[in-house]
Structure 1
Amino acid sequence: MKNKNLVAGILGGLVIGSALGILFAPAKGCETRKKIADKSRDLKDITKDSSEKWAQKITQTVRQLKTDSEQLLENNSKIL
């Protein structure tokens, strides 16, 4: 749960910081739109990478739980 909050905080900080930096920077409209598009792509990539890492961790955990459960059931059936 702490990691989820940390990731959400980091992503939120990136979004807010990027938006404020772009809005207060003296630039032409076309330059500002390009910066917004670039930052949006960066944020999308960060989010994608983060979600892929979480998916891998979840998959690994589920596999480990399945293996542990099978071993536990096997051990219990030998005892009974």
Structure 2
Amino acid sequence: MTTYTEMLEQPQIITKIESAIGGQIVSVYLAAHLTPPIPFQENGRFKYVDPAPQKYANHLREGMKLFAELLDEIHQKTGGEDA
């Protein structure tokens, strides 16, 4: 079985994650009545010129990575059964 961590490297998963991250950043900016930043794409990932949304995007990516690692650990401990 492919691990959750390995799945994070699949291009179709990266595209969905980046779309979700971009949507989250837009939502946060709109909720604060601010103009959302416009990202550019580099190596399949969104990058922001402004350091604030870039830092937020990096935190979200790191959170997804940590969550995937925890799911892998749980899956391994349960012997491949759904947790």
Interval containing the TM-score (normalised by the shorter chain): 0.3 to 0.5
TM-score normalised by L of structure 2: 0.44
Larger gyration radius, structure 1 or structure 2? 1
TM-score normalised by L of structure 1: 0.46
Structure with the higher helix share, 1 or 2: 1
